[in-house]
Amino acid sequence: MTLQLEAITGGYGDTLVHRDLSLALPAGQITAIVGRNGTGKTTLARLIAGELPLQGGAIRLAGYEIGGLPAHARARRGIVTMPQTGMVFDTLSVRENLHLTGGTPDQIARIAQTFPRLGERMAQRAGSMSGGERKILGFARAMLGNGKVLVLDEPSEGVQPENIQRMQAEITARKAAGAAILLLEQNVSMIVSIADRVHALDTKGFTFTLERADIAREAVLAALEI
Ligand SMILES: Nc1ncnc2c1ncn2[C@@H]1O[C@H](COP(=O)(O)OP(=O)(O)OP(=O)(O)O)[C@@H](O)[C@H]1O
Ligand SMILES: [Mg+2]
């Protein structure tokens, strides 16, 4: 399903972070947004998830306006977000965190095999895992959520290359299954490897867009140097 942001405005009360921002997330594509710290990537993820209220514009999922719906109603329609922080329940075990996604036992077993770190720690309390391990668990939760739109806020932050590779394979598989994916990342290698389109973000909005053929390391780095 395609997600369309139409001239959305929002932020924190009077402090608007985004003004009239438009973006299409086509089904079966990985759309990346690159921008320096504080340009509003996380705020955008929260506006899409419904954690922050829209102060203008519309969000359409397969044509239907969902911009006024609460977060749980958007989640039910298939918008799954991996937040940058707070993506796991610290007091619950790894197993419980995975089960709460609604994933089937087979899906959970598969993801625990894909990321052996999780498989080895099923009984461990999520809050006692390392930062990188929690990221992997948060990512696994997002993959089990059966989302039609996946919003991933810096999934690779603090994660070792081997597990970033595994994340990339998972994201690419979801793309092949038709999900619309928004990747908010500063990891240039990950973007170059898997993104179909890259939008460069600064504090005033999008500055330029790269299509697949133009997504190279230098061009993506330029978005981080604005
Ligand atoms: N709860 C909040 N209240 C007020 N301002 C906030 C709040 N959270 C973030 N901001 C501000 O909104 C702006 C955008 O922040 P945001 O976290 O969306 O950026 P980001 O692109 O995700 O940065 P990073 O790359 O560091 O994750 C920043 O100026 C930030 O200080
Ligand atoms: Mg952020």
For a mutational test of ligand 1's pocket, the pick from 41, 151, 156, i.e. the residue with the most ligand atoms closer than 8 A to its C-beta, is 41
Tokens coding 93: 């075990």
User: Is the shortest distance between the CB of 156 and ligand 1 below 6 Å?
Assistant: no
pLDDT tens for 62-71 read 999 999 999 9
User: Which atom of ligand 1 is nearest the CA belonging to 36?
Assistant: 25
* Residue with CA at minimum distance from ligand 1 atom 18: 40
User: Is the shortest distance between the CB of 223 and ligand 1 below 6 Å?
Assistant: no
User: Is the shortest distance between the CB of 34 and ligand 1 below 6 Å?
Assistant: no
User: Is the shortest distance between the CB of 187 and ligand 1 below 6 Å?
Assistant: no
Q: Locate the domains of the chain by residue range.
A: 3-224
Q: Which residue bears the tokens 């500055």?
A: 207
For 163, the enclosing helix (H) or strand (E) is helix 161-176
pLDDT tens for 150-161 read 999 999 999 999
pLDDT tens for 167-209 read 999 999 999 999 999 999 999 999 999 999 999 999 999 999 9
User: Is the shortest distance between the CB of 91 and ligand 1 below 6 Å?
Assistant: no
The whole-angstrom separation of Cα 223 and Cα 200 is 5
Is it true that domain 3-224 has CATH number 3.40.1190.20?
A: no
CB 144 within 8 A of CB 110: no
